[in-house]
Amino acid sequence: MAIMSTGKLFIVPTPVGNLEDMSLRAIRVLKEADLILAEDTRTTSVLLKHYDIHRPLQSHHKYNEHQKVELVKERILGGMNVALVSDAGTPGISDPGFLLARTCAEEGIEVQTLPGATACIPALVSSGLPCDRFAFEGFLPQKKGRQTHLQALSTETRTMVFYESPYRLVKTLDQFAQYFGPERRCSVAREISKLHEEHMRGTLEDVANWFREHEPKGEIVIVVAGAPPEKKQRNGPREEKE
């Protein structure tokens, strides 16, 4: 009696802009997968067609992942190799993927994440701000807890990286200026790896004013300098004198 071997979960980054950013390994994994899970099957279909990939494709997004995660796990345990992709970048980084990866890891299923495209690293390195240590914050809370979180970040000494919608960019920069100080340095990267890629660098106040006059479009990554070390010390516990 043949014993069926367990399959694997492959987490596959896809281009954030230029389709040429797809790695050779990523193309091979997708061509060999028994099933591809996509955040949006319409978006992924364009990518698969470009690389002549013809594999079964199903949706797996934030609205259905809780319902589908157990089914996907059982399919992998049954021997299927499953590849997970998001619309752009690396799944799990501000995109669906964490829940499935955690479920598979807890079950003892091998999870292989391929290195590849993501918007935050190019934006960080291109910013000109220190990138040896940084804090990735992704999307900030829209309402509940936002001000408390910004207050906590005001003493963060590492460079900070945020994702933001172009429709909320100016408001967010104004809030950063309020909590971090208007002279704090920043860089706003727009349309990473696309034809109209743009980086605006300066103080939070200056960059906010620029985008007030020039309507931002496309995908946005904000990189903000960390607080000076002395500010963290000044706001920290005070030494008591005897």
3-state secondary structure of 187: strand
**CA-CA distance, 141 to 95, in Å (whole number)?**
15
pTM above 0.95, yes or no: no
Is residue 233 over pLDDT 60?
Answer: no
pLDDT tens digits, one per residue of 65-101: 889 999 999 999 999 999 999 999 999 988 889 999 9
- The predicted structure's pLDDT at residue 4: 58
Question: What CATH number was assigned to the domain covering residues 120-232?
Answer: 3.30.950.10
Measured from the Cβ of residue 138, the count of other Cβ atoms closer than 10 Å reads 12
150-157 contacts, C-beta under 8 A, 24 or more apart? 150/175, 150/176, 150/179, 151/179, 153/179, 153/180, 154/179, 154/180, 154/227, 155/227, 155/231, 155/232, 155/235, 155/236, 156/226, 156/227, 157/226, 157/227, 157/228, 157/229, 157/232
Q: What top-level class would CATH report for the domain 8-113?
A: alpha beta
pLDDT tens digits, one per residue of 195-210: 899 999 999 999 999 9
**CA-CA distance, 90 to 14, in Å (whole number)?**
7
DSSP string for residues in 88-153: SB-TTSSSTTHHHHHHHHHHT-EEEEPP---SHHHHHHHT-S--SSEEEEESPPSSTTHHHHHHHH
Q: What are the boundaries of each domain within the chain?
A: 8-113, 120-232
Q: Which of 170, 181, 182, 176 is nearest to 220 (CA)?
A: 170
**Under the phi-then-psi rule, with left for phi > 0, alpha for psi from -120 to 50, and beta for the rest, what region is 141?**
beta
DSSP string for residues in 44-65: HHHHHHHTT----EEE--TTTH
**CA-CA distance, 34 to 64, in Å (whole number)?**
20
- The predicted structure's pLDDT at residue 100: 95
**CA-CA distance, 135 to 158, in Å (whole number)?**
6
Q: Find where tokens 């752009």 sit.
A: 88
Residue 182 phi, psi (nearest 5): -65, -20
3-state secondary structure of 154: coil
Alpha-carbon 209 to chain mean position: 26
pLDDT tens digits, one per residue of 110-162: 999 999 999 999 999 999 999 999 999 999 998 889 999 999 999 999 999 99
Q: Which of 219, 150, 218 is nearest to 184 (CA)?
A: 150
Which amino acid type is present at position 12? V
What are the tokens at 22?
A: 């797809």
The model's confidence at residue 231, banded by pLDDT at 50, 70 and 90, is low
3-state secondary structure of 10: strand
